[in-house]
A and B are shown apart, each in its own frame.
Chain A
Amino acid sequence: MEDPRVQSEEAPWQQRVLNSIWLLALAAVVFFFLSYVVWGLIDLLSVGTGG
């Protein structure tokens, strides 16, 4: 029966991605910055001036 813990071939890309913590951290911070900060600021800056 296969022992799932045998250290065999190289880990699949999903495991390597989950292990690339600095890359993930960078991507997450960039994503947050764009989704929350930049988009929100665009919304605020495009509020037109009242008549």
Chain B
Amino acid sequence: MSAVPSSPAASHLNFFASFIEKELGIVYEAANYYQLESRLKEICKNLEIEDVATLYSKAQAQGITGNFKQMLLDVATNNETSFFRDPKVFKCIEDYLIPELKKNNPATIVFRIWSAASSFGQEPYTLAMLLNEMKAKDPSLPNFEIWTTDISKAALERAKTGRYSQLEVQRGLPPLLLIKYFEKDADNYWTLKNDIRSKVRFEEMNLLKMDKVVGHFDFVLCRNVLIYQNEERKKKIIANIADRIKKGGFLILGASESLINLSDAFEQIVTGGAVLYRKK
């Protein structure tokens, strides 16, 4: 008689969820255990381990260290946070948005940019690397100042360190930028060099309250925030952001988000497969 594959025991999932919470401050609600389960199964496949129960036994017997630890911590951030997430957007910033801003604001000496949901920092740091590369090619570009905010203090604290696992730095980041902007340490973690990290300023902030943002911005990235909000909150967040964008400045939303029925303060521009909104 062959064995019937069973779901991992809740106690095993609890164990891994607590470990991730302790290390990263990320909480897996029981309702999301299915997600944790599928990610643990992926680790099993990678480590050539039969199932989650065996993975649990390994953790109990040998502790969670080395590659195993790296992979486990990584599952909590899997696909959520990637450098150059949705590459079309960054291509569009490089090819269209920045040249447009420069053309329309010839007297500007600093572009002010706001990454409105920093998470673990991949988005603001991607902007910092991209703009640094652009400025190296065209020194006549203005300098840039990047603000980033997030509602999660734990996420921001982690983002500020600029330190990422070997798996995290491989998500979206071309190897040439990795070796140019990061330093590897003995634990196989990679830390963004200080000169680029210092270009980004962090604030803990709720987009519904807007109590920490100062001044006006040339462009704002607010990706994958609206999808988690109801209609009323979406409108409030967009109105708050619109108040902080200069006339002719830009807003970029997540790939599955739009301003339809939310705001008429912007005109939509589609270029290079990406969607931008220009403040009227």
A and B assemble together: no
